[in-house]
Structures are given as C-alpha cells and as structure tokens.
Structure 1
Amino acid sequence: MGQTFLSPDTLIPFSETGKLGIMHLKRFWNKVLLKRENKLSQNDWQDEWQLDRTLLSALGLGLEQCLIYIFRETPSFGKFETWIIETAGYPRQEDVLRFNDLFGDKNKEPANVIQPVLDVEQLKCWQENGYVIIRNAVSKDDCEETIEVICDFIGVKRVDPATWYKQHPSIQGIMVQLFQHPLLNKNRQSEKVRMAYEQLWQRKDIWVTADRVGFNPPETERWKFPGPNMHWDCSLTLPIPFSLQGLLYLSDTEASQGAFTLVPGFHNRIEKWLHSLPAGTDPRKQDLHALGSTPIAANGGDFIIWHQALPHGSRPNTSDKPRFVQYFTYEPVDIREADLWI
C-alpha cells in the first residue's frame, strides 16, 4: 500500500489563531508535525511554502531554527507559542496586522510608490553584473557592536586567534546559528537596505527574513575552510525566477579575507550555459570558479544584494583576520519556487 496523506482541507484553518493573534501560525504548526510524521505530501508542503516563510519573517524567526524546534520537541501549540515569545519576543503588532491583511481583500492593490535609492552607476552594475553594493547601509558602531554580540555568543575573542577555532554547538562550518538579538533586528531594518530591495523588486510589499550570521576565521594547518563553496540556493529549472539574496559585512573585508564570492553577470548567461552542458551533467558539480568567480571586497556596514541566478559562496580566508557577516534578504509573499529541483 502507498503512503496515505491527509488532505489540505483537513488542516487547521488559516483563520484559527492563538494568544499571538497571528493567522496561519496554528496551521503551520499543524503542517510541520504532519510533515514530521510523513502524513503530508510534498506538494501540499510546498504549496504554502512562501506563506510559511513570510509568517516566520513576521515573527522574527529563522526558518531552520523553527523547523528544528518543532521536529525535535513536537510541542503543543501553546508550548510552541511560548517558545516563540521566549525566542523572538512578542511580534510587533504592526507586523501581525500586516500579515493578517494577506488573508483579507485579494483585490486590494499594494502601495507601490518606490523611492529610488540606487543611483545610475549602481543600477548599471546591477543590470550587467547581477549584484549591487549598498555603501554605509548600517553604521560602523552598530556593526562593531554586532561583532561583539557574535563573539560573546560563540565564546571567542576578536583579537585572540587562539580562541577562533573552538568548537561550539551553534557553529556550522562558517555559519553561526544566531538569529535573534536587538542589534540583528536593527540591522535588518536599515532604511537604505529596505529601499534598495524595494527598488529592485519594484514593489513595497516585501518582508525581511530573520537569517543567521557568519564567522570565517583564517585557515591554519589544522583548520581548513569548510565551505559553503560556490553554489546556488535555488532550483536550476528554467526559467530561473527573479529573486534576491543579501549579506551585510560587519567588518572591513579584503578579497583575501574569505570574502563573499560570486560570478558577475551570470544571470545573463545561465540559460545558455545550462543548455551547453552534455545530457546527464550535474551543473552543481562543475567547476563554478572557472566561470569567472570574483571575491567582493567591501567595508563594514556595506550590504551586498545579488540575483539568485549567480553562483555564489565564500572562500578560504588567507588573511590574518576573521570575517564577520550577517545574512538577510527581503522578499514578497507571492514568489514561488520551482516545482522540480534540479
């Protein structure tokens, strides 16, 4: 006998809320528990995926941290809401109301009066290269304080190399599973960053994600760069939809300092490249550096936005200083990922 899945009609309704007053949360909790028990089909899981992501953005939660918690703890809904409050605090009422409005008048036109923040040269760089650098998006002081928060969290001292390679349960390669802190939230609310995303999306109804941070120390004889190397975070099913990713440099970062790396302009030639590969070739296993990878040096407080069709990643840090970054992006609720992952 095949696997029996529950129908989406049997799920908790979107409208049912708890003490946080936010719609869809109870349904999301319901779906994750069913997914854990393999009682929800992949198609039904994917159908509301972007709505789920937007819900977590409104709550200030990281996607990975939330899924891990539910899968491990299988909490009651009341316990889940309590965990949300303890982890991310009470959501802003304006975010709750804005999210709940998504279930209101479907014909309501979103406000789209875009105030441009990217100049002619930045837009030219974007069109030709698929990325743009927003200079001084976050103050130096806030970046320096954010670095101290990261160092305290993982138990390292910024000026003491002997502490940089300690094991810590929240360190995964060069990623640090730190999602919530007032400074991280403040950085995510940078007006320059939000306006740049609005200009590139050409819409204002976008939501900021609560992503993690990064710590990439210099390579040594005993510690080697663990990746992620060059990759894509989207399916390579054509056509690749427009979507954006971003990171904030928290410290001045030289090209040799494990700098963020991408292949400029590849969004303009990815279809031709994919079609040129022999049948059966896995595009993800090619030498993506050979496509023209370029490390992006920038200063603390600078924010990089790139098109998701660009191969991108980090690189070995051959300098004598660690690299500190914060990841986040802005996205609308109605983008859809490809049904087939390639």
Structure 2
Amino acid sequence: MTSTRPPSMADVAARAGVSHQTVSRVLNAHAYVRPETRERVQAAIEELGYRPNRAARALATARTKTVGVLVTNATFFGPASTAFAIEAAARAEGYFVSIGSLPAYDPQTVRAALDQLIDQGVEGILVVVPQREVMDLVELVAPTTPVVAVAARADIPADSRIRYVEVDQALGGALATRHLLDQGHRRVVHVAGPAGWYDADERAGAYTRTMGEAGLESRLVPAGGWAAADGYEVGRALAAEVASGGPTAVFAANDTLAMGLLRAFWEAGLRVPDDVSLVGFDDIDGSEFLVPALTTVRQPFDEIGRAATHALLWPDAAQVAVVIPPVLVVRDSTAAPAPR
C-alpha cells in the first residue's frame, strides 16, 4: 500500500545518501556543506516534495493545531463571512487559523500562497476563493496536505484530492426566481454577478432554468462585479425600461448589487415594489433595514464554517462534497405586479 504520509527529513537523507544532520545543515544554510552535497540534498528535497515543518520540529507531538485559510484579498461579503465563520469554528475545536490572501489569480501566486501556508506547518488548508480559474489551479497543484474548498462546484474532477463544501447556489437561485413567479411576475430580469465565479454561474443558471420551466423568456444582465456601484450602473439602464413597460421584477445576484439597483430606481422615481419587485442574495447585515426591507436568499455562513472545518479535521471518506441549503427570506421589496 502506498504511504500517504508526507516525506520526512529521514526520507531526504536516504534519497541523497547523506546523514540526517547533513540534511539539517542544508535546510539551515550551514556554511560547512560541500557544494556537490548541498546540490544532491536539494535535488532530493525537490524530488520528494519535502517541506520543513518548523512547528513540528518545535513540538514533540508534531502537531501545530493550526489550519490555513486561503482567501481572496478583496472584501467580498460571501468569502469574508465564510472565512470569519471558519475561524470561529476552528477556534471552538482548539485550532488556530493562519490566513493567506490572493492578490492575483495566476499559477505562480496560487502556488506561492499554498506553499506559504504549508511552510507554516498547517495541518490542512481551507480554500475560500470560489472562482473557477483559482480552483482549477488548486486542483492542479493540490499538496499532500489535506485541502477543503468552499465552492459550489458542479464539475468536481473524478480524481480530485480536494473535498468541497458548498451552499446550494442553484437552489437559492431557483427559490428567488420562483418567488417572483409565484407573485405573478412574468418579465423577470436577472442582474448577474461576474463570470467565472461558481456562485454567480450557479445562480444565473438556476434563474434561466426556472424561467424556461415556466415557459418564460429569461434575460441575463451582466453587472461585471459584485459591488453596489455595479448594481447602480445597471439599474440606471433598467429603470428606463421599467418606466416604459419593461421588466416588473429583478433578481440581483447579491444584496450589494440590489442596494445599487434600489438607489438607481429611487433616483428614477420608481417605487419598489409598487413599480418593480427586487430580490437579492446573501442576506447581508442590514438588508432588513433598507427601504424597503430587502427580500433575499440567506446563506448560513456559520453552518458553512462548521461544515468546512469538520470536513478538514474529520474527513469522511465516503463524502466528496457537503451541500447546505439556503433559505428564502421574504420582506417588503417584493409584491404582485401592478396592472399596466
């Protein structure tokens, strides 16, 4: 049976044909090592994928009680809330959290971020960057260290070494769309999040399918981002359409986009929900205090944090993905369409 343990310093010494002490000297940049010996040790390190665990050397138990969390460096509500929830769940289990952020999404940056966490001796890594290009890279360079990703990935590779935890984004998108259809709306527009984000893709796909199942035409309006400013720019154009008898309802891909839409509709003299109904996604803090209070789809971030941490610390060999259902929260921003 093939061993799943990470390579040790003794393995490096055996591969290079040197003593354990010589490997230690190379790792610590000791001056009294012959160049040819140093090269042989470094080649063995590369071949075996050995990584010095500083914390393990300091602790007799070889346990750091630390997990790494890789996140986007942008302050998006979903990833940030998930990272906070993971930190709380890990702390409750007696673990520390080391955060690594991604300033860019190229292979070198992703690999360097993972390497930095591994070099700190983390016992596992949670990836909270739900973008297709990033997860493809993480799959490609996935280390022997256990990895759990929080991402609504429908196309998990059959040979993936990564476990996935997700909120059912497709269910959430369907709940939002069906709610508007149940209110009697037939001209519903979806203001979509940026392409390449699993959450945005799943919500948009669910909206399109739900409209099609109802025999209605779907229409995706890309916002280009997740920010309120993106929603505001889209909303200025949509407001003119609503005023001229166009859509009667809008499903926004997240609550901050919905906030921008609310502003644009208000500036145009439109009333929500009298002239146009509006649904968001996430149930961010304060969404119930908007005017009107925002109907939205709640993501249970605390539950996500607990599930992701549990999947990392106590993996179930039979469970490749954990799926958590969202909840529709109906407030004042949706109503039946007014007669036109």
TM-score range normalised by the length of the shorter chain: under 0.3
- Structure with higher Rg: it is 2
How high is the TM-score relative to the length of structure 2? 0.21
Identify the structure with the greater helix proportion.
2
Identify the structure with the greater strand proportion.
2
